A and B are shown apart, each in its own frame.
Chain A
Amino acid sequence: MESYALLFGSTLSAGTVLALAALGLLINEKAGIINLGAEGMMLCAAIAGFAAVVHTGNTWAGFGAGMAVGALLAGLFGLLVIWLNTNQQATGLALTLFGAGFSAFAGLGYVQAKLPELPKYAIPGLADIPLLGPALFRHHPLVYIVVLLAIAMVWFLYRSRAGLVLRAVGESPESAHALGYNVRGIRLAAVMFGGAMCGLAGAFISTVYTPLWVEGMVAGRGWIALALTTFATWRPARILLGAYLFGGVTMLQFHLQASGVQLASQLLSMLPYVATIVVLVLISRNPAWIRANMPASLGKPFHPGS
C-alpha cells in the first residue's frame, strides 16, 4: 500500500511537468500557431532555471529564469513565423535543434553542480494522514497551482471575452483581422505565453522533479506535451487528465523496476513513448473528435493585406 501511495504521489509530479507545458502549448495552438520547438525551449529553460537556483539558492528565481528564457525563445520563433511567414513546422524544428545544442553548450559548467536542499513541502495536518498524506499533500506548490491554472484556463477560453478573441484568431484570422483585432500581436502574445509555460515546465524538471542538470534531460517530454494537446482534443481539463495518465505511465516503469519485474530497464523505459504513439493512434482514428475542437487555422500562415 505504502508503495502505491508513493507511485500516486510521484505521478502527480510527473504529470505536473507535462500539464504545464501542454497547457501553454494549448493557448499557443488556440491562436492558430503550432510550435514544434517545445522540447528546445524546455531544455534551455531547464539549464537557465538550474543555473539561477545554483546562483541564488531560490527555486522561484529558477522558475522565473526558465519562464523568461522560454518566452524569449518563443518570441524569436513568433517573429519568424508571424511576421516573416516562415514555415511553422520547420521553424519549430530549428528551435528544438538550436535549443538542444545551446542547452548542452550553456550547461557544460553545471553538470556536477549541486542545488541547495529543497524545503520539505507538507500541508500541516493533512500531510500526516496515512497513505493519503504522502500521496496528495506533500508536494511542491506548483503541483497544486497547475490544477488552478487549468481551471482558470477553462474560464478564460470559454467564459471570457479575451478567450473568445483568442479562439477567433485561431479559427479565422481573416475575420478577426476584419473586425479590427491585432491578429499578429495576439498570436505573438499567445506564442510567448506558451513559451513561458514550457519554460516553467523545463525549470521544474531541473530544479524540483530531478534536481540536477544532464544534457538532454527533458527526454522528449516537450514532444509528449505536444501530443497531449491532440490527445486532449484542445480542451484544458482533458490535458490535465492526460498529463496525469502519462505521468502514471512514466512512474509505472520505475515502480515495475523497483518491484523486481524481470524485464530490461530499457524495455520499461519505452513505455511513455510507446504509450504516446498508442494514444495518438486511438485519438486520431476518429477524425470527428479531432475536427470538433482543433483550431481551424492551426499551422496555416496569415498575413494581412495580401
Chain B
Amino acid sequence: MLRLEPRPQVSKLWTYASPVLALAITVLIGVALFVLLGKDPVRGLQAFFWEPIKSGYALGELVMKATPLLLVALGLAVCFRSNVWNIGAEGQFVIGAVCAGGIALLADKDTGPWIVPAILAAGVIGGMLWAAIVAFLRDRFNANETLVSLMLVYVAILVLGYLVYGPWKDPMGYNFPQSKTFERVTQIPKLIDGMRMNIGVILALLGAGALWIFLARTRAGFAQQVSGLAPAAALYAGFSSRRALWTALLVSGGAAGLAGALEVAGPMGQLTPYVPAGYGFAAIIVAFVGRLHPVGMIFSAILMSMFYIGGELAQSRLGLPKSLTGVFQGLLLFALLACDTLVAYRLRWRRAAPAIKGGA
C-alpha cells in the first residue's frame, strides 16, 4: 500500500514545485467544472489566464487588483510566521477604509494635496487599532485570536453599514447607502495616465522589500519567527512572545488598513457597502500559496488577481456566476495544503507489514 514516510530533510524541490502542482490540480478541476456546466473549457481558461494579461490596459487592471492582495498578504505573512492566527484582515481592511474615508470626506474645494498622506495614515492607524483589539484581548486575557479577529470582521462591516446608511449617507444620493463622492484632490495619484492603478503598487512592492529585509536581515525579524516556530526556544533566548504578538498584529492591521485606504480613495472614490470585497480572506490564500515569502507572494497575488478578473470575465463572457472565483480560490488552497505534504514526506509503495498483535 501507499504510505507516507517522513523525509530526513524537507524537500527543496517540492517547496517550489508544490504551489505549481496545486495550481495544475486547480486548473484541471476547473476544466472539469467547465465541461460539467456545458461551457467551452478553452474559453474558460482564456478568461482566467490569457485575457488578464493580453493588453497593457488588462495588465494594469491585473496589477491594480493584485495590490491590495499583496499588501494584506505581506502583513499576514508576519502573523503566520510567528504563529499568530489573525484571520480578520478583512475587518482591518474595512476599518482602514472607513478611517481613510472619514478624512477624505473632510476635504473640500480648497484642500491641498497634503490630504492624500493624511488619508493613507488614517487607513494605517485604523487598521492597526482594529488589530490592536485582537492583540490586547489575546495578550491580556488569552482570548483566541482566530475567533476574536473573525468576529471583528462582522462588527467592522456593520460599522461601515451604520455609517453609509446613517450619518455619512450622501443627502444627494437618491437614498442609496453611500457617502458623498470624495473631492478630486483626495484621489490617490495614478501611476500611468489612463489606467486605474495608482501609487499603491509602489507601496506594496516597497512593503515586500521591507518584509524581506525584516525577516532575513534583522534581529527583530528573527525573534519574530523563532516565537512562531519554537516558542520554548524563543523564551530561552529571551525573545518576548508578547512583543512578537503585538508586532505581528500591528504590522498586519496596518498593512490591511493601508490597502483599505488605497481602495477607497483610489478606484472606489466613495464609501459604499461594497468596500468589503473579500480581499482580506483571499490574502490568506495569497500568503500560503506564496510560501509566506515576499517574492512568492508577489507571484501569488498576481495569480489571485487573475482569479478575480477571470471570475468577472467568466460572468460576462460565459454567463457563469462570479462566485466561481471563490470556488477556485478555496480549491487552490486545498490543493496546496495537500501537495505540501510532499515537502516533508515522501510517498512510498510498500507491502503492508504483518500486524503485530499487541495487548489491549
Contacts and interface: CB of A to CB of B under 8 A. Distances in A.
Interface string B317-329: 0000101111111
Interface residues of B, number: 50
B137 A277 contact: yes
B166 A220 contact: no
A57 interface: no
B360 interface: yes
A105 B324 contact: yes
Interface string B297-328: 00000000000000000000000010111111
Contacts of B244: none
Contacts of B358: 178-180
A273 B157 CA distance: 12
A254 B78 CA distance: 40
Contacts of A303: 4
Contacts of B161: 266
A74 to B, nearest CB: 13
A128 to B, nearest CB: 40
Nearest to B357: A180
Given A102-B326, A277-B143, A97 B333 contact: yes
A277 B152 contact: yes
Contact of A86 (B151, B338, B360): B338
A280 B329 contact: no
A86 B142 contact: no
Contacts of B150: 220, 223
Contacts, number: 150
B275 to A, nearest CB: 14
Contacts of B337: 80, 84, 86-87, 90-91, 94
Interface string A53-70: 000000000000000000
Interface stretch (B115-123, B211-219, B281-289): B281-289
Interface in A269-306: 269-270, 273-274, 276-277, 280-281, 284-285, 287, 290, 303, 306
Contacts of A93: 87, 284, 333
A284 B142 contact: yes
Contacts of B282: 97
A40 B140 CA distance: 30
Contacts of A100: 281, 326, 330
A3 interface: no
Contacts of A148: none
B106 interface: no
B232 interface: no
Contacts of B140: 285
B147 A280 contact: yes
10 shortest interchain CB distances as A-B pairs: A101-B326, A98-B330, A104-B323, A266-B162, A94-B333, A86-B337, A84-B341, A101-B327, A105-B323, A180-B360
Interface of A: 36, 40, 76, 80, 83-87, 89-91, 93-95, 97-102, 104-105, 108, 178-181, 215, 219-220, 223, 226-227, 230, 264, 266-267, 269-270, 273-274, 276-277, 280-281, 284-285, 287, 290, 303, 306
28 contacts: A40-B330, A80-B334, A80-B337, A84-B338, A85-B345, A87-B337, A89-B146, A90-B333, A91-B334, A93-B87, A94-B333, A97-B285, A97-B326, A97-B330, A101-B324, A104-B326, A105-B324, A266-B161, A266-B165, A270-B158, A273-B151, A273-B158, A274-B155, A277-B137, A277-B147, A280-B137, A280-B148, A281-B137
Interface of B: 4, 6, 85, 87, 137, 140-144, 146-148, 150-152, 154-155, 158-159, 161-162, 165-166, 281-282, 284-285, 288, 321, 323-331, 333-334, 337-338, 340-341, 344-345, 358-360
